[in-house]
Amino acid sequence: MTKANEDPNLLTLGLAQIAPCWMDRARTLQKVEAWVERAAAEGCHLTAFGEALVPGYPFWVELTGGARFNSPLQKEIFAEYAEQAVQPGAGHLDGVRAIARERGIAVYLGCIERATDRGGHSLYCSLVYIDPRGEIGSVHRKLTPTYDERLVWSPGDGHGLRTHPLRRFHVGGLNCWENWMLLSRAALYGQGEDLHVAVWPGSTRNTRDITRFIAMEGRSYVASVSGLMRREDIGDASEWQTQASAAAPATLADGGSCLAGPDGEWLIPPAPAGETLLTATIDFRRVLEERQNFDPAGHYARPDVTRLQVDRRRQSIVEFPGEGVT
């Protein structure tokens, strides 16, 4: 037994910086399963993947004139994307869950969710937490898609603003630019978050500043986990993919995965482009040390002056009295 397993204050974290098998849910999930196995073999208690990894970020929008209204091409691409989206209730994540259960490892996975509780046709950028028992602990739907993402993804709700106990830590996470939403961060701080997982499609320009800022604000460990996307990852399985590839730069998402400690200092500086598993063992006691002079939800909070209300109901256009909404 390793020292990290003996001491519950220690947690070994794996940041899986990989590219998707773009627009292919089954192949991308097979790849995720292999990297979860790799992380477990390296002694990780938690491994995390980038935003929208399954089946991939919608890079086509800026490459194929995605803002054209009522475009037959955009309808075709969206329909393909929806077909490849994840439905947890349909068992799409069962393989990942089985590995998590067998290896006793938790997983944060960014995916595109086709939400059956919202009719089953609109898409949400969701961050799924799978605990070491293989149970889905939360599905957080990105509250506000960013810029051209709004042409593809729907706004989420507060249902997934939750933290999860893992060894001595409480771990929470947010998608990409919603990490800039100060009240969303506060909602997690108030639930005891001391390990924050920020997932990104992949960009060092996004991760290099905010990772350390959130760590210093929250006096927490902060892991930014990015995906990758290169021109060759687009593929040429269809005419529109060939068109998108011709318009794409050599690198669309360049990684930048990193980890900051609760004092804001780098434990893992932003990684260059390339598939890799970055690992580090973190110590809960460092959180307690840094909370001595600042605790955003504790001794440095003033709930008598300012406080936050969070609606964690799963939103739906229909309710059936006596049955509830799942």
Residues designated as active site: 51, 142, 176
Neighbours of 70 (CB within 10 A): 6
Nearest by Cα to 191 from 299, 305, 296: 296
d(CA 188, CA 186) in angstroms, rounded, equals: 5
Pure H helices in 21-132: 25-41, 60-63, 72-83, 94-103
- Give residue for tokens 């390793």: 2
Q: What angle do CA 231, 63, 154 make, to 5 degrees?
A: 110
**Degrees (nearest 5) of the Cα angle 105, 109, 110?**
170
The answer to whether 11 touches 282, Cβ cutoff 8 Å, is yes
- Asked whether the beta carbons of 133 and 69 are under 8 A apart, the reply is no
> What token pair was written down for 105?
């490892």
**CB contact at 8 A, 268 and 257:** yes
Whole-number CA gyration radius for the chain: 19
